[in-house]
Structure 1
């Protein structure tokens, strides 16, 4: 017997279809990953001549390490310069035109942001997360939402806050010294009374 339009079995909460599509995409990704991993395991057990091509045996020289995204503040030149160049391209090409409105007293932005170490560190972390979370193959369709919530919004809140790294920068004037710690007087240097 076909269901009538007023049948309670047909009432579906709004947004459920999107959730189902996200779940289908995640299931397809996991299925593909399991298939890839099991095929690799089958090939490895069938091989008696050694490891599968490209596989590490654990005997590699200590110079060969797994590659992870670099934290920009730990890099030396020329790697630091290359990473900073890529970061500048992303900030000026994606972040500034897409997310930053006109700076104001409540939401400062310094056009020389790359001279503020704290800004470089925070923006670099947001950029690394953006690279990972905007790739549907690795994170599905929810990655951009996660990036906005967990990475972009907190980074911009901290950077543009009244006590953030741009606090001393006003329109036309750039100051980075305001964030440097001053010499703290020591109780040990005072003469005893």
Structure 2
């Protein structure tokens, strides 16, 4: 039987199980605090202890992080074979199927283009970045109806200026012995035929 409250003390009615709930909340708070410290400081030891004492909430958070990582492909220059090769094939398909016929006029001294663009690392990097942005910004569910405009302004136009400019990666493709035969975009040979060569 609980002790009678002393004179002057308020009588508190505490529901059964409330102390257990408070202890559970404290434990969850400490786990989340440890996780935040681990993420901000990058301590491997704290990660191991947080994982060892992890809860279902930690597992759900890990699953969510894995799903997010799976949703967004990594930047192409960070990949190794065979992932790099697979991503490059998909990029080539997009460049030759969408970008070349839709956006590239006949190459000139002011607007260079190399039909072997995939052999230029800088071109691969810039075009891959533009392609990743295109995938996101042409989906009305994720960006609304202004996404394509944003993609043109913030991604495509700057990428093409850098690639096709006089100091861009294709500069050597129109000068002296480094000259590569340029063709109209509709006549650009398929990169698939050059991949095995």
TM-score range, shorter chain: 0.5 to 0.7
Indicate yes or no: 2:83 matched with 1:79: yes
TM-superposition CA deviations, 1:53-110 (whole Å, max 9, x none): xx943466x9998333211011011100000000000000000000000000000000
Q: Which has the larger radius of gyration?
A: 2
SS of residue in 1 equivalent to 2:69: coil
C-alpha separation in 2, matches of 1:93 and 1:65: 28
Pick one of 60, 63, 86 that aligns with 1:57: 60
- Alignment RMSD: 2.7
Q: How many residues align?
A: 122
**Structure 1 CA distance for aligned equivalents of residues 93 and 85 of structure 2:** 12
Distance 1:64 1:136, change over 3 A: closer
* Whole-angstrom distance in 2 between the partners of 1:155 and 1:59: 35
- Aligned to 2:103, which of 95, 99, 102? 99
**How far apart, in 2, do the equivalents of 1:156 and 1:66 lie?**
28
What secondary structure is seen at the aligned counterpart in 1 of 2:88? Answer: helix
Aligned partner of 1:148 in structure 2 is 152
- CA offset digits 1:131-174 (Å, max 9, x no partner): 00000111111000000000000000000010000000028934
Q: TM-score, normalised by structure 2?
A: 0.56
Q: Runs of at least 4 residues of structure 1 off by over 2 A? A: 55-60, 62-68, 171-174
Label 1:165 to 1:64 Cα distance change in 2 as closer, same or farther (>3 A). same
Partner of 1:164: 168
Which residue among 173, 179, 182 is the counterpart of 1:173?
179
What is the alpha-carbon distance in structure 2 between the residues aligned to residue 84 and residue 70 of structure 1? 12
Structure 1 position 128 matched with structure 2 position 132: yes
Distance (Å, rounded) in 2 between the aligned partners of 1:95 and 1:59:
37
Q: Give the Cα–Cα distance (whole angstroms) in 2 for the partners of residues 133 and 64 of structure 1.
A: 20
Q: Which residue of 1 aligns with 2:19?
A: none
Compared CA separation, residues 63 and 57, structure 1 to 2 (3 A): closer
For 1:166 and 1:152, locate their aligned partners in 2 and report how far apart those are by CA, in whole Å: 17
List per-residue Cα deviations over 1:2-58 (Å, max 9, x = no partner).
xxxxxxxxxxxxxxxxxxxxxxxxxxxxxxxxxxxxxxxxxxxxxxxx66xxx9434
Structural mapping, 1:34-53, within 5 Å: none
* Unaligned 5+ runs, structure 2: 1-55, 181-197
